[in-house]
Structure 1
Amino acid sequence: MNLAQRRAIEAECARLPTAYAVFIDFRRFDELCDLFTEGAVLNLDGWPLEGREAIRTYMHSRPKTRTTRHAVSNILIEVQDETRAIGTTYVTSYRFDAADEKPRNRIPFDGPFFMGNYQDEYICQDGVWRFAGRKIDAVFMRPAAYDVWNEILR
């Protein structure tokens, strides 16, 4: 593989974390699920969702009253070969859970909900790069969010 091919793979794979962030934040869940292979695993800090349909079901169950923004950075793609790559992406997540579905132009917040990183596995099938696996590790959390997260994972 030459340098131009490696750079092209890196660019294709680096697009996926950004697309994931935009699609989840704007509730474009079907497009988000298309970023994954059929058998992909999305591991939410110890809670694995196995397969595209499990991911789709989870995404569509997210509360309509939840507003999020996922800021991704420090995207490092390591090409393994012409069809496989791995990557690390930092994520800072902001979240607001409203008590109602009233539209809001501005939302108060106390800072990030959490900061952490994704460990990604990418695969190219039929010329299209997708997530084969995505694992999120929450590293920093606000104390109130930490308590909620621990209850969810029990």
Structure 2
Amino acid sequence: MSPAERRAIEADCARLPNAYAVFIDFRRFDELCDLFAEDAVLNLDGWPLEGREAIRTYMHSRPKTRTTRHAVSNILIEVEDATLAIGTTYVTSYRFDAKDETPRTRIPFDGPFFMGNYHDEYVCQDGVWRFAKRKIDAVFMRPAAYDVWSEILR
């Protein structure tokens, strides 16, 4: 593989974490799901969603009163071959759950909801790079969020 081919794969794969962050934050869930291979697995800190349709169902079930922003950084893509790459991405997530659907232009801010990293496996199918596996590991959490998250994962 030439250096130019490797850089092209790295760029295609690095676009996926950025697109995921924008699509989830702006509720563009169908576009988000298209970032995943048909049989992909999205593991939400110990809660696996298997297959694109399971991911789609989960995304569309997210509360309409929830506003999020996912800031991604430190994206490292390691190309294995012409159809497989591995990636690590840091994520800082900000979240606000409103009590109603009133539109808001400003939201109270109390720091990040959590900070962690994604472990990704990318596959190229028919010339298109997609997530084959995406696992999120929350490293730092607000104490109140940690209690809620721990309850969900029991």
What is the TM-score when the length of structure 1 is the normalising length?
A: 1.00
Partner residue, 2:32: 32
Partner residue, 2:57: 57
1:73 aligns with 2:73: yes
Q: Deviations over 1:32-86 (max 9, x none)?
A: 0000000000000000000000000000000000000000000000000000000
Partner residue, 2:44: 44
Partner residue, 1:93: 93
Secondary structure of the residue that 2:107 maps to in structure 1? coil
Give the Cα–Cα distance (whole angstroms) in 2 for the partners of residues 147 and 18 of structure 1.
28
Give the Cα–Cα distance (whole angstroms) in 1 for the partners of residues 152 and 27 of structure 2.
21
Give the Cα–Cα distance (whole angstroms) in 1 for the partners of residues 109 and 117 of structure 2.
21
Give the Cα–Cα distance (whole angstroms) in 2 for the partners of residues 120 and 141 of structure 1.
21
Partner residue, 1:146: 146
Partner residue, 2:133: 133
How many corresponding residue pairs? 154
Question: Which consecutive segments of 4 or more residues in structure 1 shift more than 4 A?
Answer: none
Give the Cα–Cα distance (whole angstroms) in 1 for the partners of residues 3 and 69 of structure 2.
34
Give the partner amino acid of 1:98. Answer: A
Give the Cα–Cα distance (whole angstroms) in 2 for the partners of residues 149 and 49 of structure 1.
16
Give the Cα–Cα distance (whole angstroms) in 1 for the partners of residues 66 and 60 of structure 2.
12
What is the TM-score when the length of structure 2 is the normalising length?
A: 1.00
Give the partner amino acid of 1:24. Answer: I
Unaligned 5+ runs, structure 2: none
Deviation (angstroms), 1:121: 0.1
